[in-house]
Chain A
Amino acid sequence: DGGITQSPKYLFRKEGQNVTLSCEQNLNHDAMYWYRQDPGQGLRLIYYSQIVNDFQKGDIAEGYSVSREKKESFPLTVTSAQKNPTAFYLCASSYKGVNYGYTFGSGTRLTVV
């Protein structure tokens, strides 16, 4: 079955360490997205990519980095520059444009101690 996979489900890191969250999709979707979710704040867009080797900053890109070397993969690195990295991170994918909506992964909960 096609879908979008985020790993790991839970991640713990020490303050000051970079950490990379994985997102893979086999839906042949063109676009991929990273969102951060904090209680009461809804979904905030971190980065998105419409095609391979191209990506754009979202509303809260500071302290994060991404790459899009393959259509299927869109990893997110949370760097030590991110002041409050503890959050729930959601990856999504879609065909180009919003016509079909987004398909979401099951999320990664990152805790930095």
Chain B
Amino acid sequence: AQSVTQPDIHITVSEGASLELRCNYSYGATPYLFWYVQSPGQGLQLLLKYFSGDTLVQGIKGFEAEFKRSQSSFNLRKPSVHWSDAAEYFCAVGAKGSQGNLIFGKGTKLSVKP
């Protein structure tokens, strides 16, 4: 079955520290992978996406993610977290060339300590 797992429900980091949010997927086809961010009471905003090619993708707001096929992972990273990064982050996967829908993980809530 297709699935996306975000193992960490809630993460707290200090401002200025590095961040890594984990995402593992289970998908039979070649995946398209996405990371979204949601501020409280708002919709989801696309941070970055991976379709093919370079496995390290750059996104908005200084985020990057690395696709590792052997580990079925697409972890999100940021070298130095800012207080404004506090939000909920969702990983999503879809099948290449498919008419199907995106499958979302349950999200990781990020808190930032001053």
Question: Contact residues of A with B, CB < 8 Å?
Answer: 6, 33, 40-43, 45, 48, 50, 88, 90, 92, 96-99, 101-107, 109
Contact = CB atoms under 8 A, between A and B. Distances in A.
Contacts of A96: 99
A102 B34 CA distance: 10
Interface residues of B, number: 26
Contacts of B42: 106-107
B111 to A, nearest CB: 15
A46 B22 CA distance: 26
B41 A33 contact: no
Contacts of B94: 97-98
B99 A50 contact: yes
The 9 closest A-B pairs by CB, nearest first: A98-B94, A42-B106, A104-B43, A104-B44, A106-B43, A43-B104, A101-B34, A105-B43, A42-B107
